Every structure is written in C-alpha cells, then in structure tokens.
Structure 1
Amino acid sequence: MTRSVFNLPATLVASLGLASAVGAAEPFDAFLEKHCISCHGPEKEKGDLRIDKLSRDFKLGADSHHWAEVIEQVNSGEMPPKKEKKPTQEEIEAFVTALDSKIKEGRAARMAARPAVSHYRLSRKEYQNTVYDLLGVRYDPAKPGELNEDTLWHGFERIGSELSLSPSHVDRYYRAAGTVLDRAFPAASGEARKVRKTAADLRYSGGKDQQAALDRFGIKRPLRYLLFPGTVQNALSANWFGKTGPEHSGLYKVRIQASGVRPPGGQPAHLSIGKRTGEETVDGLIDFDITAPEDKPQVYEFEVFLEMPASLDFCVVATDVVDRRSGAAFRNALSSRGGYIFTHSSETLLLNPNAPQMFDGKGNGLFSTVLLDWIEWEGPLETDAEKSLRKNLVPADDATPEVVAEHLQRFAERAWRRAVNKEELEDYLKSYREEREAGEKPAEAYRVAMQGVLTSRNFLYIVEGSPEAREKLTDLELASRLSYFLWSSMPDDALFTAAKGGTLNGEGLKKEVDRILTDSRINRFVDDFSRQWLQLHRVGMFPPDKKLYPTYDRWLETSMREEPVEFFREVLVKNLPMESFLDSDWTMANSRLCDFYGLPEPKTDAFQRVSLKPEDRRGGLLTMGASLGLTSDGTRHRPVHRGVWLSEVIFAKTPPPPPANVPAIEPNPPTSAKATLREKLEAHRDNANCSACHAKIDPLGIAWDNYDAIGQWRTHEKVAAGTGADPMVNPAGEMPDGRHFKDPNEFKRLLIEDRDKFVQAFIEHLSTYGLRRVLTVDDEDDIAAIAAEAKKNKYGVKDIVRAVAVSNLMRKR
C-alpha cells in the first residue's frame, strides 16, 4: 500500500516503540484475517506492510495513517486484489464502520491531549519577506555565509518539525539582524545615483580614436558594442558610483538599449548579467532574450538587488554557435582593444580582417549576437512606503526611559506579531541601559535592543498557543497564519487591525482573505507554493549530458523552471478549474521555450500565454519540460521516478522506499538487441518483492515515455548500445484500478476522471503548506469539508485556496 501525507513522522513512531504493538481482537479483525493477512502478514509482506503488527492503540494513533489507508484501499476496491476472493458489500460496510469508529475515537482523544504551545521557525524566504515588510530593508538570506539552508520535506521548506535551530543558526541570525539594522539605519547617506555608460565608454575607452576613423570614412552611425556568444565583458564596476560600500547595497534599476543580430532560422541572442563564474559563463542575476532587430533597438529595464560593492559582467548565450570555431582565437581577435570598430553589420570593412567572419555578404549574422548602445544603472532605490516603515522607530537622543520603552514595545509588537507586555522587554531595555552606561550613543544603544527583538524566538518563530491548551487560534495567531500562508510574511496593518478588533471571523474573515488574495504580495504565494508543491528545486539537479542533449543550456533550464510557476499564476488569477493543471490548450512560455517546444515565437521576450494545438503534444503541468526533466538523471528518462513524482504531486501519496539490495537496471549489453527502459522494468517487476509497488507506480511514469530526459517528444527510444534499430516507445498501460490508456492524452483523460482525488490531494498540499506541518488522519474530516466546498464552486483554483484559508482547519491549533 502507498503512504499518503496523512502521516506521522517515522522517528516519532519508532521513539514510542509501538510500530509492532497489537492489542486485543477488535470487531474488524475477522475481516482482516479473512481478506488481508495472507498478503500483509507473517507469510507475505506486500507493500512493506504487516497489518497484524499495526498498533490497535487508537488513542495514541501511532499507526492511524496506515489504518486510514486500509479503509481507502478497501473502499476503492483496490484491496483485496482482483485475483483474491472479494468480500461482500455487507462485510465491507461492517468493516469500514467499525474501523472508522475506532479512528475517530482516537482522534478525539489526541485532540484533547495536544500540546499547549507550538513553534514554527520562519524559512529563509519568510525571513527575507518579513524583514522587508517590517523595516523596508532588502536582505538576501540565501547568499553564501548568511542563513542556513532550509531542510526540505517532499519539496516543502516550511515544515516545523524539519526546521530546527542549531548553534550555527543562532550566530547567523545575530549577524543577519545586524546587517538588516545597518541597512535600515545606515551610518552614511545612500542617496540614489545614476550612471550611464555608452558603447564608446564600455568598448573603446571613450571612443575618440574610433570616432576619428568613422569621420574619415564618412560614416554617420554611432559606435556600438558588439557582444558575441561566449564573451564575458564588464557590465558594472562599483567605482562607477565613486566610493561605495555596504551601506549602498539595495535595489538598483538597470536600463539597457540593445538589439540583436539573429541568423536566419536561429535563436534570438540571450543576454545574461551577473557575476563571472568561468571564462564564458556568469551566474545570471538578469536574463533575457534580445528580440529587437538591429535597426530598431529596444530599451530593456529591470530591477535587481545588489550587495555593494558589486562587479557584474555581460555574457551572451546562444546555442547555435558553431562548435568548430576556435574559441580562444575567436575571442582574442574580436575583444582586443582597437581590434575592430562596429557600427552596423553593413559596415564590415571596419571589422578586424584577421577575425573570424561574423556576417555573410548580405549582412545576416552567422550566429546570435547582441548589439549594445548603452547601459544605465540607478540606485540604491527606496520607495516612500519603505521609508515610512522606519519613520519614528528610533526614539530621540534625549528621550526618557519611559519613551524608549514605549518605542521598543511598539516595535516588538509588530515584529512579534502580537501584544507584548513591558515585562517581556526588560532584558532588552537592560541591554540598552548598559550600552548607554558604557558610553554608547543613544541610537546605537537602542539598536542593540532592537537586535535583541529581531533575534528573539518570538520573531524567528511563529508561536501558536499559550500555557493553557485550547482548540482554536486567537485572532492575532490566525492573522499570522493567514499572512504567512498567502504572503509568506507578517500581517500588514489592516490585518492586524481586523485581528485586534475581533472581526477576523465569519464575513469579516472572508473579506480579509479576499483582500489578501488581490494584494500584490499574493505573488509570493504563487512563487513559493508552486515551487515547493511541484518540487522545482530538483530542476537541473542532474545536468543533462551535453553530447546527448546539445540544445540544453542554462537559459532553457531557467525558462523551464519558470514555466510551471507562471502557469500556476495564470490559473490562480483567472480562477481556472483544477483540470487545467492536468490538461490545457495553452501554456505560459517565452521565446526560448517556444523554440524548444516548436511553438510560434511570441511577440515579446517575456512569458505570455501561448495557444497549443493537439500536434504540439503539450498542455498542463505534466508535459512541461520542468516536470519531465526533474525526474530524469541527465542521460535518460526514469519512468519510476516520474511515477513517484506524479503520485506525490497529483495524488499526495508517497510510495514506500524500495527494498534493500534491489539490483539496478543495467545498461543494454552491446551484443543484445536494443531494449527500451520499459522492457527492462517489466523484467525487474518479476521480482515478487518489487511487483506490488511497481504495479501502482510504473503506469504513472510509463505514460510519459514519449518524452526524453529533457522533455522532447520522440517516437523511438535512443539506446546507446545493442544490436538493431532504436526501439519504438510504448506509452500504453493500465491504471491500478484496471482502466487502460494507450498514450499520454488518454492518461490525462483518466486523471481528469479522477478529478476528485486530485482536488483532495491539492487541498492536502495547500493545507500542509499553510499549517506548516505534516497532515495526519486527524485532519481528514476538515479536508473533506474543504473539498465539498470546492466542489460547489466547480473547482476553481482561487476558490479552493480561499476555501482553505477560511476553513475550520486553518483556525485549529
């Protein structure tokens, strides 16, 4: 049997020592003995499950998730299997009723005994958003040397039981708080400055000599900077702004006027701006395609956070570069100072005659190239809203101790997201007094107290509960749960006000949730939830083999990772039905993805909605390059991994791990006929220890065998070794319940028929994300209530998110 997200941590079960506890005979034991023990008992242990060893102590509930799974399998008809004698309907009803009653009794007992207080540490992303919404300060916790990386649970990075706090965390949080306060209250002014560098400045050191040459030829065109594939050239030097230090870190706006030379039938040039990582590569902070033609340059504008002092480079990426060119010689011939003068592809006599040819006789580029006119940097930028967050936060130098305490109390209440007693702040005020007595200036002494507030568990954790156990959250706790669910950050003033005023219930709650859903901060939910739900951190984990997949590059990988996020955004904003995730006649794509998928090129380089035809063989999340690539190993597709991913993401069920010492699938022998991976898997499933689980996993992955390791469509599987022609792909299969499909389209249709299961699984994922914990069997009734509400609204995705937000489950501790 599979394991759903209704689960208790295995470590907890083991620590209790009850995994094998068996109580006295229960009313349902006769059914189990007759229909289940033969396959899940002492003689056989299919699915790694021994029903005879499951705990009957339902109050403790160590195995309640297994019992709930048993009910689900019996109700669905999947168990007992087809070859075994089926129980009568009366037997099933009596069994389910008796077992369900026991589960519910245990649930009530556990709810009454739940702990008084729960703590959930903020993830790095939540910390970043919270300090921004609290102080208007931008801080990157993922930068090397900053906050520790979050531990993942099936893609989710905010599960409370996974986010521990070690001594190394504490030290980094103190440093982070110091950095945040330095930026909030800098010692020196960080007023925005603007710097523009023209092509003449960047390439020709002002271009006086080159301009004189142009004058001699009578050429009226301006000098331009030709950036060819593989070149890495300076895009920003900190000294452009004069003397600059960390106090100038912040948001910068960059504007670039550029156009592209594109070979006939080739790709548009791609420009990346970031930190140099190699001779021909940068770690891109800004990535975009240059679609503007040579004679109609376009101004491209971006915002980027920079840690100053910063140095950045340009890098042009194009997959249609001819490999036979001598890279070093090519670069040296074109990049040496004074080696060429470029104004236009028609003025080729100005190019270095010793350099490789870049244009044909008609002015067509031989490969994708960027033509840069100028670049402009402006920053650090601060909005009035960001500045207002820091207004009057620090008391005046001559403030009395009472005024200082009042200031700190107001700050702590916003930072800790609740009412704060003055007694709780005594240690921080003591630090302030000690700093003043040591001769520190009032503002600096007060910052020490503020740093204490920002390193308190009340800031770093979402704290729910009080010394007395209670069933429901307070309104202030609910406000934090909602804001961290949908904004990945602290409540705003309006949400605080609603919570303090006691209106966060009934129609008042619905009104606030609707406001939250229409606020621009909902984009944080789109980015964070979709990335975690779909496990997009795995995209690029196994870089594809360049020899096998020469068209795969970093820009394609980045575009693949963004496609499902942009798709989710469109579905949520338009409140489209859930089945859009499974199949659609459109997708969200940029020019790089359109080229990869063979779709008509979009009008702009940004992501936009693109229509699909049946022959495109795309539609929905499951045929996206990201979904297909993250389940591959860089050389070949992996049907089993695709099946496991689909089971987890679409049905919220994680199959059990494989038995120990299961042999790996060997490569095709050179002297044997070429065989598909599917054929080898079928031989692998002959192993009795593997067949039960593979029967449920493999069809979910085999359905996508027409897509290779990076998601390209194919009809034959390329097999490196072996005799004969490459074998044809066979995506046909049978679902665990016996329904057949012949190709991916029919498989999608079967998934849509199972819409209710997918919707429930989606609700489980949303709830896991929102509650910051693994769901258990105790949550089943609440999940069912949310699903019933979603069905009334025809499964619109925004309606489902709203239903989760206003549900009884979200109000429970």
Structure 2
Amino acid sequence: MLVCPMSCRRGAKCIACIPARRHHSHFTWFAALILSLASFTGQLRADDDRYPAEVTPFAKKYCAQCHEGDDAQAGVSFAKYADEKSMLKDRRTWEKIFNVLKAGSMPPADEAQPTPDEKAKLIGYLDDKLHRIDCTTMSDPGRVTIRRLNRAEYNNTVRDLFGITFKPAEDFPSDDVGYGFDNIGDVLSLPPLLMEKYLSAAEKVAHEALLVIDPASAPVQEFPREQLHRSNVAHPLREDLIILVSYGDVFVEYDFPRSGQYILKVSAGEQPAGDEHSKMEFRLDDKPVQQFIVKDVDPKFEHYQFALHVDRGRHKFSIAFLNDFFNETAEDKNRRDRNLIVRDLQIVGPTAVDQNEYPAFQHAFLTSMPGEGKSVADAARDDLKPFLRRAFRRPVTDDEVNRFVGLAERVAATGESFVTAMQVAVTGVLVSPEFLFRVETDKNPNDASERHAINDHELATRLSYFLWSSLPDQELMTHADAGDLHTDAVIETQIRRMLKDPKSQALVDNFAEQWLQLRILNEITPDPKAFPEFNGELREDMKRETSHFFAHIMREDLSILDFLDASYTFVNDRLAKHYGIDGVSGAEFRQVPLAGKNRAGLLTQASVLTLTSNPDRTSPVKRGKWVMEVLLNQPPPPPPPNVPELKATAQAQPDLTLRQQLELHRSNASCASCHRVMDQLGFGIENFDAIGRWRDTDGNQALDTRGELPGGRTFQGPLELTHVLRGKQAEFADSLTEKMLTYALGRGLEYYDRCTTAKIVESLKGRDFKFSVLVTEIAKSEPFRMRRGEDAK
C-alpha cells in the first residue's frame, strides 16, 4: 500500500495524501525526485510541454548538489516519472512535493533558494495538474469494504438490542487502527481468536437477555469451610469441618442475583451429649428462618434445607447453634459435650423468580409461546422475525427466519424448554455474519462503474453507527421502511434529533477521543518525582474536560472554530485547582470562563498538553507535531535515520535552554525542514508544564515563547498562537471535515473525495461553521449516500 508522509493543505483538500495516515516517510527525497526528473530524455506528449519547462530547470538549479545518481539522499530514484501522465498516476507522491514546496520546507534553509517567481511557477504547475478537478463531471462515491462491528459498536449494539448493562466486548482483542480510527473496514480483520470470543460473548448475552428457570438444574453456590465466617466459639475441626462449641454461628454473605425462591442448605452433624440432640437454626440477615434437630454424626452428615423467598441483593445466611450442653461428670466421656459440626453451606437457585425479575427483553421478545395448537416452529417464527429485523438492521426473508426457527426446533426436540431453545437461536443470530458485519449490497460488485445509492435501511445503519456507534432505532427504521430517509429534509431532521440524543456520546467517545489522540493519555505516566501531583484521578479529570468540551460544542450546535480558541472550558474542583481557577467546589464538572487565564480552546487543555509531553519535561516538538497532525492535518514525517536524539544534545550542552538545544538540534539540514514549523508551534505553548500547569520559567531559565511561521507570521505565547490558528479557518475546517468523513465512511479518502470535502467546507463557511452543518453535510454527501463496485484492477 502506498503511504502518505505529508498532507497538503490548499484551500479545500489534499486530493492524494488522504488515504494513508498511519505510516510516514521522511521527505528529503523531495529533491531527489525533482532531480531525477531532470535526467529524463523520453519523448513527451504535446500536452506535457509544461512538465519539462517547469520541473527540470528547477531541479537542476536547486536540487542537484544533494540529490543525484545512486547516492541521492534517502536513496530514492524516481525514474518512473517520465512525463506528466506518469506523474498523475502517483498523485500521493506528487502531493508531498507540492506540500513541502508550498510550505517552504524545501529546499533546505541553508541551501540556495528559488526566487518567488520560480517557486510560483512550479507551485502553479503542480497546483493546476493535481488539484484542478471538475466536480461537475467528477462523480465517484468510492467503495466501503464490508465492516465488522468493532468493540465499541458491538457493546453499544447489544446494549440497545437487549438492554443489557455489561460490556461483552471488553474481552475481545483490540481493534486495528487505520487512518487514525478503529472503524475502518480495510483493517477490521476477523482472526480465529475473535471468532471464539464472539461465540462466548453471544452465549453470555443470550443467557443474560433470556432467563431460564429450571428447578431441576438450578445453579448451586457452595461455600466450603475455608469460605465460612465464624464467631468466636466456632473453630476448625478438620480441614473440612467447623465445630461450634457454644452458642454462636457460622455465616456467609451472598449477592442474590434476582428476587425469587431459593433453597438454603447445610451439611451438618452433631457431637451428642445430654438427653437431647443438637438444635440448629437457619437465619437470614440475623432473623430466624427455620430450626432443625441434628441427629447425624461424623462422617454420616446429612443436608438440611429450607426453601424461602429472598429479595435481590446482598444478604447474610447464617447457621446458629441453640442448645449448648456440657457435663464433665457424665459417665460416658464421649457424651459430656454437645456441639454442632458444620461441613458446608449451599445456596441453590433461584428455583423460581418474581415476574418482574425477567429481563425486559424477554417480555418483549417472547410474545408468542407454543401451546393450544401453536407449534414450537410457529411460536419461534413469530418471535424471531421482528428480532432478526432489528439485529440484521434490515427486512429479513422467510428463508433467513426459517434457519433460526429450525435451530430452535432441534433444541426443543431434545426436551429442553422453549426459552432454552430460543436462547440457542439468539446465540446463533449473534454469531451470524449479518449481525457481526455491516453488509451493503451491489448488483455488480466487480464493476467500478456501477454507482448507485444505498438503500434506506443501509443509510439508516450508516447514520446510526456514525453518530451512535450502534444500530438504528425505531424512528430511523420507520423512515427507512417508508423510503423517505434519503431525502434531505428527513436527514436534516434526524441529524438534529440524533445529536441531541444521549447516545451521541458515542461520537465523543469514539470519534473525538481518536481524532484528538486522547486515548494516548491512558499510556502517559509523568515522572512521579517531578510531578507528584499527577495521579489517576487527575488523568481522568483531564480527559473528562476535553470530552465535556467536545460534547458541549456538539449538543449546543456551536461553531467548530471554538475548538481552536473558545474562551471557556469545563472543570471540577480538582482540575480547577490544577489550573489556578478559584470558586469551583465539588467533583461535578461545570462550565467556567477563561478570561484572564491564558487558556483558550483545545490546545491549552491539560489532556493535550500532557499527552504531548515527555515524562519529565515538556516537548515543543511533540506539541507542534500535534497541532500539525490534529488541527491542520499536515503531519510531518518521522525523523531521518542516524540523527542524534535531543537527549544527547542536552547532555553535551546542559546550560542551554530547551529552545537553544532544539535550535542546535536543527542545525542538521535534514531536520530543519520539519522542525522549523513544529518547534515554532510548540514554543508558543511552553508556558504550560508537562502536566498542563501554567509557568513563567523552566527551572531557573526564562521562557521564550516567541514563534514565527513560514510566511513571516509571528506570535508570542498561547493566546496569540490560538489567534493564529483561528486565522486558519479554512485549513482547520478542511482538516476536521476529512477526519470526520473518514470516520463516518469507515474508509480512507481518495483524491476524488476532494469535491465532497470542498463542498462541505464551503457550506461551513456560509453557515457560521456550525457543528450540525458539518455532520449534516457529511450525511447528505455523495460518498455517504452512495457506493460503487470494486475496480477489477
């Protein structure tokens, strides 16, 4: 797979760099590529006249010194680009060239620089050839690979389908990530281990959703001697026995899972004495339940049991000894001391449950039961058809229903109950590809020219997994059944409704956390010696601030530009103290103004500042890289090989400030082209330490937070930097559009998607950059509402 080390930002969209964001290569190959073009002598077509006229002279004049022949830096030969046609076949590579040239990253700053006219000519040529797309004739919705549900989607889907509260996918292997997200069809493989996990999870879900009560096989919870609590008069007798030598008890505490009928059991015997047998009392929560006369002696102990109703929850089940006796003068030495001996306790059940203890799903699902002339097959078909429709997220055929009906029939034929048979059928549904995968149909799947609108049920699924990471609700399905979901008016109405729904928190948890790289924060552990204040609670507060911030902009339908410089945030008392904000008490998060606090937008939030720092100090490089990657979608490539780490520079020059060390580090020409932008951005937020607190000095050294970007734009400190970023409205809108469209589609974008992103950005500009406009325009876009077959090549 071709990879993209850069991202070009010209107005609306980089048309070639989009598809690969996971891997990057250093771009010193730029000059080598240009130089290699200078040696081409092949015949060019008439429409290639500008290619040798614009590219070759530039390469000879500015690139030949470092990039020629077999020893060209980065060892890259581009002889395959013989003409304009070959250039356009590799748009991704040429987008890199355009990007670094326009940004002023190449040629290196210490080499001869092209004149403004020379640079403008080459940029203009590449701009024209790479970016001029006639969107009135260009129409390619792309193709989304069939996608399995990722872990978050699986958990949310079974939650909404069954109403269960546990998360069965927590035990699944981690999902692979592509293009920055874990919902990309191309990387969501299905290894054998995951298939085993699917089966195990399906069984757990089915048993949680459908309660089977069979007194003959009720669950038994046994408490052997080592698990019993004892009063002071109860002592171990052997490895398996406890003896009560006086008035006292042994007990267990147990969480009864449901309100219903249980059987309390004890295996007990006595050490006889006097003229009566031992008396034993069952107690529940220290209240008498039942008394027994214990006549058995070791080793022929018997079980004593009593059935009773117990409410759901934690209760104390105890065994008390009631009639202690001791006579040391008795003639029979073996009958002088009466004691109660306990081997174990058991709780059996529930053997029956209250009607309201059955899961809500069970009441809704099993509306038809066999009997009175209705067969198992008929009842199963009645129950399964509407369930399958929800689970498969579309209408189902009779043949599909009959497959699962047959499964239930076979189980019932073995003598199992109807509910057990339906448990097995539900398990089968949950391991079906139609449930595990989001399937979309093509009449001609191998014909790339076959472009068509997805049907309304497929659109309902796209919408629900985009905004909720879960299956469509009844309202979406009703519109899909009516066939009007694809209309602009209905989509707009549904988007507004869905963003207000609490389930839209999934867009925060799954899109925002990955877009902003917040999941990295879980792996960050600042040096406890340098930052003893940092702990797990503060880490969680940092994440919650950013989550609340994103959710507020989303639900209040504010401008996406607030992400850059909003003058408010969300804190609780602990985070407020961390920021030096007074007047906040309690653990609840609330909105606070940031006027006079030197903070604004995402960039100054502690979550971002901490995840972009080293354990023991800040990192202007990481922080600048985050701005380029996340906010501007211009990720720099990784460093070239054989470049010494900054640590070595610091050890060699310990008296230098961090800024000076980085400047010395950038003396390597191959580093300077990237660091001249990254470091400048990072210096702007050096007033925040490695866990996001404000500071005026770094140790004993004054901070220099000045920055200058290519083109001469200068700033000092975080607020001026956020103003600079606010000035890049189109670039930020384009970056966020690309990221959210990638997430919504579940695929990387291609050059032809530029028409879509450009249209969305124009809509944002004309409508105050509202969050809902971004989401709605994505949902109404051609790639979201259409698909095509696969290119046979």
Indicate conservation of the 8 Å contact 2:516/2:630, yes or no.
yes
Give a deviation string over 1:386-440, Cα, whole Å, max 9, x none. Answer: 8268503474134432442343232222111112222335543443333233333
Counterpart for residue 128 of structure 2 = 97
Counterpart for residue 780 of structure 1 = 754
Larger relative contact order (C-alpha < 8 A, sep ≥ 6)?
2
User: What percent of counterpart residues are identical?
Assistant: 30
What are the equivalent positions in structure 2 for 1:13-32 lying under 5 Å apart?
25=44, 26-30=48-52, 31-32=54-55
What are the equivalent positions in structure 2 for 1:179-198 lying under 5 Å apart?
179-187=204-212
Aligned residues: 622
Give a deviation string over 1:196-226, Cα, whole Å, max 9, x none. Answer: xxxxxxxxx9xxxxxxxxxxxxxxxxxxxxx
Counterpart for residue 256 of structure 2 = 243
Counterpart for residue 175 of structure 1 = 200
Instruction: Pick the aligned partner of 2:19 from 3, 8, 11.
Output: 8
Sort the Cα spacing of 1:658 and 1:500 in 2 relative to 1 into closer, same or farther, 3 A. same
- 1:612 and 2:634 equivalent? no
- 1:463 and 2:439 equivalent? yes
How far residue 801 of structure 1 moved from its aligned partner, in angstroms, is: 2.3
Counterpart for residue 166 of structure 2 = 139
Sort the Cα spacing of 1:468 and 1:688 in 2 relative to 1 into closer, same or farther, 3 A. same
- 1:525 and 2:507 equivalent? yes
How far residue 148 of structure 1 moved from its aligned partner, in angstroms, is: 1.5
| 2:159 counterpart letter in structure 1 | Y
Counterpart for residue 397 of structure 1 = 370
Sort the Cα spacing of 1:59 and 1:788 in 2 relative to 1 into closer, same or farther, 3 A. farther
Give a deviation string over 1:547-587, Cα, whole Å, max 9, x none. Answer: 11121122111101111110112222222223321123221
Counterpart for residue 57 of structure 2 = 34
What are the equivalent positions in structure 2 for 1:214-293 lying under 5 Å apart?
242-244=255-257
How far residue 166 of structure 1 moved from its aligned partner, in angstroms, is: 0.3
Indicate conservation of the 8 Å contact 2:258/2:313, yes or no.
yes
TM-score of the aligned structures, taking structure 2 as reference length: 0.70
Give a deviation string over 1:77-120, Cα, whole Å, max 9, x none. Answer: 7777882123466775555334445x779x969x49x66x7311
How far residue 705 of structure 1 moved from its aligned partner, in angstroms, is: 1.5
Indicate conservation of the 8 Å contact 2:464/2:471, yes or no.
yes
Give a deviation string over 1:500-527, Cα, whole Å, max 9, x none. Answer: 2111112122222222222222222233
Flag structure 2 segments of 5+ consecutive residues without an equivalent.
9-13, 26-31, 215-229, 231-250, 262-311, 316-352, 446-450, 788-793
Counterpart for residue 792 of structure 1 = 766
- 1:757 and 2:770 equivalent? no
Counterpart for residue 657 of structure 2 = 676
Counterpart for residue 708 of structure 1 = 689
| 1:397 counterpart letter in structure 2 | P
Indicate conservation of the 8 Å contact 2:569/2:592, yes or no.
yes
| 2:158 counterpart letter in structure 1 | V
How far residue 185 of structure 1 moved from its aligned partner, in angstroms, is: 0.9
- 1:640 and 2:621 equivalent? yes
Equivalent position SS for 2:591: strand
How far residue 384 of structure 1 moved from its aligned partner, in angstroms, is: 12
| 1:586 counterpart letter in structure 2 | Y
Indicate conservation of the 8 Å contact 2:258/2:357, yes or no.
no
Equivalents in 1 of 2:584, 2:358: separation in Å? Answer: 36
Counterpart for residue 220 of structure 2 = none
How far residue 635 of structure 1 moved from its aligned partner, in angstroms, is: 1.0
Indicate conservation of the 8 Å contact 2:696/2:703, yes or no.
yes
Equivalents in 1 of 2:122, 2:514: separation in Å? Answer: 42
Give a deviation string over 1:595-618, Cα, whole Å, max 9, x none. Answer: 10010132543110112232x221
- 1:151 and 2:162 equivalent? no
Equivalents in 2 of 1:547, 1:418: separation in Å? Answer: 57
Equivalents in 2 of 1:151, 1:246: separation in Å? Answer: 42
Equivalents in 1 of 2:748, 2:543: separation in Å? Answer: 26
Shifted more, 457-466 versus 748-757: the winner is 457-466
Counterpart for residue 645 of structure 2 = 664
Counterpart for residue 427 of structure 2 = 451
How far residue 782 of structure 1 moved from its aligned partner, in angstroms, is: 0.2
Give a deviation string over 1:251-273, Cα, whole Å, max 9, x none. Answer: xxxxxxxxxxxxxxxxxxxxxxx
Counterpart for residue 582 of structure 2 = 600
Counterpart for residue 400 of structure 2 = 424
How far residue 686 of structure 1 moved from its aligned partner, in angstroms, is: 1.3
Equivalents in 1 of 2:577, 2:177: separation in Å? Answer: 33
Equivalents in 2 of 1:246, 1:685: separation in Å? Answer: 70
Equivalent position SS for 1:539: helix
Shifted more, 76-85 versus 394-403: the winner is 76-85
- 1:699 and 2:676 equivalent? no
- 1:509 and 2:509 equivalent? no
Counterpart for residue 652 of structure 1 = 633
- 1:86 and 2:116 equivalent? yes
| 2:696 counterpart letter in structure 1 | T
Give a deviation string over 1:146-166, Cα, whole Å, max 9, x none. Answer: 222222346522222222110
Instruction: Pick the aligned partner of 2:360 from 359, 369, 387.
Output: 387
| 1:506 counterpart letter in structure 2 | D
Counterpart for residue 308 of structure 2 = none
Equivalents in 1 of 2:260, 2:784: separation in Å? Answer: 41
Counterpart for residue 534 of structure 2 = 552
Equivalent position SS for 1:733: strand
Shifted more, 748-757 versus 655-664: the winner is 655-664
Indicate conservation of the 8 Å contact 1:118/1:464, yes or no.
no
Sort the Cα spacing of 1:381 and 1:793 in 2 relative to 1 into closer, same or farther, 3 A. farther
Indicate conservation of the 8 Å contact 2:149/2:438, yes or no.
yes
Equivalent position SS for 2:496: helix
Equivalent position SS for 2:760: helix
TM-score of the aligned structures, taking structure 1 as reference length: 0.69
Sort the Cα spacing of 1:52 and 1:407 in 2 relative to 1 into closer, same or farther, 3 A. farther
Equivalents in 1 of 2:498, 2:545: separation in Å? Answer: 24
Give a deviation string over 1:124-176, Cα, whole Å, max 9, x none. Answer: 11111111111111231454xx2222223465222222221100000001111
Equivalent position SS for 1:602: coil
Indicate conservation of the 8 Å contact 2:256/2:314, yes or no.
no
Equivalent position SS for 1:791: helix
Sort the Cα spacing of 1:141 and 1:151 in 2 relative to 1 into closer, same or farther, 3 A. farther
| 1:549 counterpart letter in structure 2 | F
Shifted more, 64-73 versus 655-664: the winner is 64-73
- 1:575 and 2:602 equivalent? no
Sort the Cα spacing of 1:743 and 1:403 in 2 relative to 1 into closer, same or farther, 3 A. same
Sort the Cα spacing of 1:555 and 1:104 in 2 relative to 1 into closer, same or farther, 3 A. same
Sort the Cα spacing of 1:85 and 1:519 in 2 relative to 1 into closer, same or farther, 3 A. same
Counterpart for residue 298 of structure 2 = none
Give a deviation string over 1:596-654, Cα, whole Å, max 9, x none. Answer: 0010132543110112232x221211011100000122111112111221111101222
Indicate conservation of the 8 Å contact 1:120/1:163, yes or no.
yes
Equivalent position SS for 1:435: helix
Indicate conservation of the 8 Å contact 2:212/2:420, yes or no.
no
Indicate conservation of the 8 Å contact 1:563/1:588, yes or no.
yes
Equivalents in 1 of 2:518, 2:763: separation in Å? Answer: 29
- 1:124 and 2:128 equivalent? no
Indicate conservation of the 8 Å contact 2:202/2:430, yes or no.
yes
Equivalent position SS for 1:610: strand
Sort the Cα spacing of 1:669 and 1:29 in 2 relative to 1 into closer, same or farther, 3 A. closer
| 1:126 counterpart letter in structure 2 | E
CA RMSD of the aligned region, Å?
4.1
Sort the Cα spacing of 1:760 and 1:425 in 2 relative to 1 into closer, same or farther, 3 A. same
Flag structure 1 segments of 5+ consecutive residues without an equivalent.
190-204, 206-237, 249-307, 312-379, 719-725
Sort the Cα spacing of 1:61 and 1:563 in 2 relative to 1 into closer, same or farther, 3 A. farther
| 1:544 counterpart letter in structure 2 | P
| 1:633 counterpart letter in structure 2 | N
Equivalent position SS for 1:633: coil
